[in-house]
């Protein structure tokens, strides 16, 4: 169950990305999904592992950067 909970934001990210083909929308969904996962873990166990905090920090910082600058992947596969 813990493994599924750890990978749930990533699974949601890929589902949104594959269904909409929009990395910006998928990133916008990833950030709150990761926050909700951390909140659930904190409420259930009253502790959060350091790697989870590092992952949350990276998701927020890099995701906010991507959303604010509308950065698309360099190699998206649909270039001429």
- pLDDT of residue 74 exceeding 70, the answer is no
Work out whether the CA dihedral 49, 51, 56, 60 comes out positive or negative: positive
Q: What is the pLDDT of residues 20-73, one digit of tens each?
A: 999 999 999 999 999 999 999 999 999 999 999 999 999 999 999 989 888 766
Read off the tokens for 16. Answer: 């949104």
What is the C-alpha to C-alpha distance for residues 25 and 31, in angstroms, rounded to an integer?
Answer: 10
């Amino acid at each position: 169950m813990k493994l599924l909970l750890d990978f749930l934001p990533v699974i949601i990210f890929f589902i949104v990305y594959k269904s909409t083909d929009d990395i910006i929308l998928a990133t916008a969904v990833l950030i709150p999904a990761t926050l909700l996962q951390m909140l659930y873990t904190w409420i259930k166990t009253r502790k959060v592992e350091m790697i989870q905090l590092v992952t949350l920090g990276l998701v927020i910082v890099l995701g906010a950067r991507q959303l604010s600058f509308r950065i698309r992947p360099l190699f998206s596969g649909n270039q001429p």
